[in-house]
Amino acid sequence: MTQLRVHAPAETSNHLAELRKLADLGVAADHNEPFGDQTWVELRAGRAWLITTGSPDLTGGAAIVIPEDAEQPVVVELLVTPDERGNGLGRQLVDATTQVLAQHAAEQQAITAWSHGDHPAARRLAIKAGLEPVRVLYRMALEIDRESFGDVTIPQGYSIRTFVPGDDDAAWLALNATAFADHPEQGQLTQDDLEARKAESWFDPEGFFIVEDAQGTPAGFHWTKTPVGSASGEVYAVGVHPDTQGSGLGKALTLHGMNHLAGSGLEKIVLYVDDENRPAVNLYTSLGFGVENTDVMFSSNS
């Protein structure tokens, strides 16, 4: 049996470099990031518990996010390095996670866990832990084989510009909350979350586009993301104000960002979209994207 260690939120920043190396092993084996962007934000901010093996290079690890707001669900993400799979370490990590949650989560707080890539072993662990699948997230991809994906037609009365850090923060956060009012993660972003993303090495305001009306009021946005050293760019987030839906702003913004990525010397564009968001799935399919991966969320509240 592997010796596990539980790190309190205040201690997690001491282990982020090793956790990143662990995550890179998972990416190489599974072609999926094992921990989401918000999980890294919570770990760096000292708002997450971390369970690791006792070895210096973290043979396996689990990140547990427990929001301060007990109305929000706990998010659990777990990774076992490829060489250690099949020997019961995943079960140990789940048991340790359960103990931490019993001690620190609110009594009625929902527990959610992601299986990135819908890995069979992760699905079995989630079901054994009493969780059931409740959400499916597609990663769609498109190979870049041209310098442009087509002309962008902006509806009359609107214009596109790039995001200005600091000046646009408050207006963008308000628009994002409105555009994603029903989204469990994107719509909850705060100024601290935005600052954390602006501090990431991949953040580039030149790839963050804002659409505004004739009065200068933001009506939509397309935030692209290109991790340093990656051959893939990402349609990180596209949102429009509900009052503009059906105007063509969403498609125009999407194409504008895609053309930006196509001119950046990349090989592929990826994006993530919920399977229940059929309008978005249909739009991306019409633009040539295809599903290359599926993530599944499991929950104690099915």
Answer yes or no: is 277 a known binding residue.
yes
Answer yes or no: is 164 a known binding residue.
no
Answer yes or no: is 250 a known binding residue.
yes
- CA 49-32-83 angle, to 5 degrees, is 75
Answer yes or no: is 72 a known binding residue.
no
Answer yes or no: is 185 a known binding residue.
yes
Answer yes or no: is 301 a known binding residue.
no
Answer yes or no: is 37 a known binding residue.
yes
- Tokens for 25? 């092993």
Answer yes or no: is 229 a known binding residue.
no
Answer yes or no: is 280 a known binding residue.
yes
Answer yes or no: is 32 a known binding residue.
no
Answer yes or no: is 239 a known binding residue.
yes
β-pairing, 111-115 vs 74-80, is parallel
Answer yes or no: is 86 a known binding residue.
no
Answer yes or no: is 91 a known binding residue.
no
Answer yes or no: is 79 a known binding residue.
yes
Answer yes or no: is 251 a known binding residue.
yes
Residue pair 51/5 in contact by the 8 Å Cβ criterion: yes
- Please provide the DSSP assignment of the chain as one string: ---EEEE-GGGGGGGHHHHHHHHHHHHHHHSS-SS-HHHHHHHHTT-EEEEEESSTT-SEEEEEE--SSTTSPEEEEEEE-GGGTTSSHHHHHHHHHHHHHHHHS-TT--EEEEETT--HHHHHHHHHTT-EEEEEEEEEEEE--SS-S----PPTTEEEEE--TTTSHHHHHHHHHHHTTT-SSGGG--HHHHHHHHTSTT--GGGEEEEEETTS-EEEEEEEE--TT-SEEEEEEEEE-GGGTTSSHHHHHHHHHHHHHHTTT-SEEEEEEETT-HHHHHHHHHTT-EEEEEEEEEES--
Please enumerate, by residue number, every residue annotated as part of a binding site for acetyl-CoA: 78-80, 238-240, 245-251, 277-282
Residues contributing to the annotated binding site: 37, 78-80, 185, 225, 234, 238-240, 245-251, 272, 277-282
